[in-house]
Structure 1
Amino acid sequence: MSTIAYGIKNCDTIKKMKKWLDAQGIDYRFHDYRADGLDPGLLETFEAALGWEAMLNKRGTTFRQLSDEQKNNLNRDNALALMLEHPAMIKRPLLVHNNTYHLGFKPEQYQGIFA
């Protein structure tokens, strides 16, 4: 069994997820996009599993700072390019557990994942 959580360490949701995983005694590895990087191949793998629309964090500051033209002309290729350039635009956390992909964190969601 392998579990990897992807995100940005100072994100409040990431902190909640880590606290929950630690409290449950779940062994995982955390990959910080800023410290550990994000390569195009990994991003493509995420997109193939989840879809770029689901991965795009439209509620974050980074997305809101895009121009109207950028927001209105999003497609798979330019969305992935933006996520690669600004990993904060990827919804967090992105959890890979037993080769299945999950976005976001809610305790009840994680109870189901790790049941």
Structure 2
Amino acid sequence: MDVYGLKNCDSCRKAMKELQAAGHAPVLHDVRDTALPEAILDAALARFGADLLNTRSTTWRGLSEAERGGAPRALLQAHPALMKRPLVVSGDEMSLGWKADAQATWLGSAS
């Protein structure tokens, strides 16, 4: 199980802790240190589209209007911290964020 996010992100840390407590063996990949693999980025964009972008982040607020109008793929490649977090991937299963729906997917019930 792979968790893509930021090591200092509260949601990512919470997800890691809860996944470990549920018996999973998640591995956190900090997208600032290592780019999101192309295959994962493609699958995430196909599944979540523009929702993959965190438009509430300080990174987003720092972008110009012209930059914000760019393609999600290009924005995420140029600014990895723009990705909504965490992106949890295990086999063909994938979830974005750490709200009730993602928790239900990985923990069996909303926590």
| TM tier relative to shorter chain | 0.7 to 0.9
Find the counterpart in structure 1 of residue 41 from structure 2.
Answer: 43
Does 1:94 pair with 2:92? no
What TM-score do the two structures reach when normalised by structure 1? 0.79
Paired residues in the alignment total 107
Moved over 4 A (4+): none
Q: Secondary structure at the match of 2:32?
A: helix
Identity, in percent, stands at 37
Long gaps (5+) in structure 2:
none
| 1:19-38 equivalence runs, <5 A | 19-38=17-36
What TM-score do the two structures reach when normalised by structure 2? 0.82
* RMSD over equivalenced CA pairs, Å: 1.8
Contact conserved, 1:50 with 1:101, CA < 8 A, in 2? no
> Cα distance, 1:40 vs. partner?
3.8
| 1:1-115 equivalence runs, <5 A | 3-51=1-49, 53-71=50-68, 73-74=69-70, 78-106=71-99, 108-114=100-106, 115=108
CA distance in 1, matches of 2:102, 2:76: 25
Long gaps (5+) in structure 1:
none
